[in-house]
Amino acid sequence: MRLAFSTLGVPGLPVTDVVRLAAAHGYHGVELRAHPEEPVHPGLDLDERADVAAEFKAGGIDVLGIAGYARVAAPGDDGPVIEEVRRLVDLARDLGAPYVRVFPGGGHEQTRERADATAARRLGTAAEYGADLGVRILLETHDSHRTGADAIRVLGRVGHRNAGALWDVMHTWLGGEQPSESYAALAPFLGYVQVKDIASADDTTPLPLGAGVLPLAECVEVLSRHGWDGWLCWEYEKRWYEEAAPLDGLLAAGHDHLCRLLNDSA
């Protein structure tokens, strides 16, 4: 498996410094948070995108994915959501990233069946666009669809290779799934896996990997046992928790912890 981290842990950090941190601490790639407050977002022009891609290439670091905020199950018209996803796909294509992350975002004002149908319809349309550009759109286990069982209700309807799943291990755990259950559900659709650690279900402040309660060893063991050879991406949610320790001081230990888990599961 290959290791990456998300720029959610280093909010606003210039691309040059992101590449430097990844290379210095042994990470193979980076998931880029695509938001206007970040250096990389869909508003960049073609020259700016080319510069970003060149910096990553020069540093020998892959752009794993573009972490967008489109909510494919949200109430409302399809058009604006599909356009938002397309803009993320365009950005991913220009940066050489194979994946785009989207959220479910289904609201309480609609039934589960309606949210599932809305998400499947939008993902199906977006997946066809992504296929033409070589980009896969991943529905993260999150908010209204936090478990693997929730996600496959949508993805099973889509039936398109360019619509897949992003397994956020915190949300499936909070949803009551064991790692083996989450993997069994998501395996046919799995793009990559987001790892993290927290103190408890009531306190999701990010912690160094291995310092909390999430079943990271079990997740890695399940993946290894089934021969899965994709990406593990550390999503350290510093952006939402100002009191959390800076990620740059934790990257080396986090890399070592993931390597130990991989060695133990081999």
Rg of the chain, C-alpha, whole Å: 17
Q: What is the mean pLDDT of residues 91-102?
A: 98
DSSP3 helix / strand / coil % (the chain, rounded to 5):
45, 20, 35
CA–CA separation, 9 vs 66, rounded Å? 14
Task: Work out the number of other CB atoms within 10 angstroms of the CB of residue 108.
Answer: 8
| pTM, rounded to two decimals | 0.97
| pLDDT computed for residue 266 by the predictor | 76
What pLDDT score does 236 carry? 98
Q: Identify the residue whose tokens are 């022009």.
A: 45
pLDDT digits (tens, 9 = 90+) for 2-34: 999 999 999 999 999 999 999 999 999 999 999
As a whole number of angstroms, the distance between CA 234 and CA 5 comes to 4
Tell me how far apart the alpha carbons of residues 212 and 188 are, in angstroms, rounded to a whole number: 29
Going by pLDDT thresholds of 50, 70 and 90, the confidence category of residue 107 is confident
Q: pLDDT grade, residue 108 (50/70/90)?
A: confident
- What average pLDDT score do residues 103-125 get? 95
pLDDT of residue 181: 98
The enclosing H or E element of 101 equals strand 99-103
The domain ranges of the chain are 2-265
Contact 34, 92 (CB under 8 A): no
pLDDT band at 88 (very low <50, low <70, confident <90, very high): very high
The superfamily in CATH containing domain 2-265 is Divalent-metal-dependent TIM barrel enzymes (3.20.20.150)
Over the stretch 125-135, which tens digit does the pLDDT of each residue have? Answer: 999 999 999 99
Mean pLDDT of the chain: 97
Q: Read off the amino acid at residue 190.
A: L
Query: What integer pLDDT is reported at residue 265 of this predicted model?
Result: 87
Cβ pair 67, 32 in contact under 8 A: yes
Instruction: Note whether 83 and 126 are within 8 A (CB).
Output: no
pLDDT at 112: 95
Q: Which two tokens stand for residue 219?
A: 């997740």
Residue type, 120: A
